[in-house]
Amino acid sequence: MKTLVVATGNPGKLKEMQRYLAQTDWALELKPPELDVEETGSSFLENARLKACQVAAATGEWAIADDSGLSVQALDGAPGIYSARYGRDDHHRIDRLLRELGPNPDRRAEFVCAMVLARPDGSIALEAEGICPGEILPSPRGTEGFGYDPIFFVPEANRTFAEMTAAQKHQLSHRGRAFALLLPQLQALENT
């Protein structure tokens, strides 16, 4: 079993990744708490690369990182890479987004997840990007999930992320789609 360091200090993200990687032989662990990576990239993919490569090089282990967020068409892609910093908490982030979008009839949006796997020397081994298209509702619906989930409507499922079961979201979400692309390649690496 190979160790795979998840380039985050968030135990919730580690747990989520463990669900996606349950059928592999990778043993996941959190990055060391003293190892901080500044997200200075201008895209989700650049930030995921920074995190994966720096954590792999610092630990000498395989590392995986993701960077994800919400991109709203009418707001020129905002909040984008600043999705988590768009307000002090989920409630304020949703309020700000709805206020800035206002009555604009163009509600198109997408959740994006960039995923990068880096070798122990810090070089990039694999990359994948998952996108879930949807639209922004004028008010929240549903009680599941977190972040922008209550206002992100997925036409394919005819519900918001916050109205989906964990299994539905796992399959349709941007992160689920990124993992669907990454998993076959990751499993091939297990045998090298």
Q: Active-site positions?
A: 67
Q: Give the type of residue at 192.
A: T
Pick the closest to residue 154 from 84, 85, 103, 107 (CA basis).
107
Bridge-based pairing of strands 62-72 and 26-30 is unpaired
